[in-house]
Copies of this chain bind each other. A is one copy, B any other.
Amino acid sequence: MERKIGQMAAGMGINRQTLLYYERMGLLNAESRSASGYRYYGEASQLRLRFILKAKGLGFSLQEIRELLNLRAEAQANCDSIRTKAEQKLAEIEGKVAFLIRMQNSLARLVQDCEHRKSSDPCPILATLEENEDETI
């Protein structure tokens, strides 16, 4: 069914302005307009928006999503380009995870130390942050 912008936004759980923003960014156009200019979004737009939001959820930037959409438009056959992009993104995410896990371990260790300190000791978190050596991270 056809939806006006407000319904489309609410239905997808995003802001009305965001939909306009995506249009400006060349990601999503309404399928049709009323005589008075109201945007009407049909099934295809909803599919496309779902694509955009999922890809965003998978960590693709809007720029990358535009490329994916173009690839999709180009040819269904072009699975290889898509897979390459997905693989690159995967590597990137693996890097982020590794980094965050290092952060996580460092912080957890600091919090641990903090719990076991004697009340006369200085705060070990502050002490670590003040250290000269780069052992923490």
Contact = CB atoms under 8 A, between A and B. Distances in A.
Contacts of A129: 50-51, 54-55, 68
A17 to B, nearest CB: 23
Interface stretch (A3-11, A18-26, A27-35, A71-79): A71-79
B93 A126 contact: no
A114 B83 CA distance: 7
Interface string A94-137: 10110011011011101100110100001101101111100011
Interface of A: 47, 50-51, 54-55, 57-59, 68, 72, 76, 78-79, 82-83, 86-87, 89-90, 93-94, 96-97, 100-101, 103-104, 106-108, 110-111, 114-115, 117, 122-123, 125-126, 128-132, 136-137
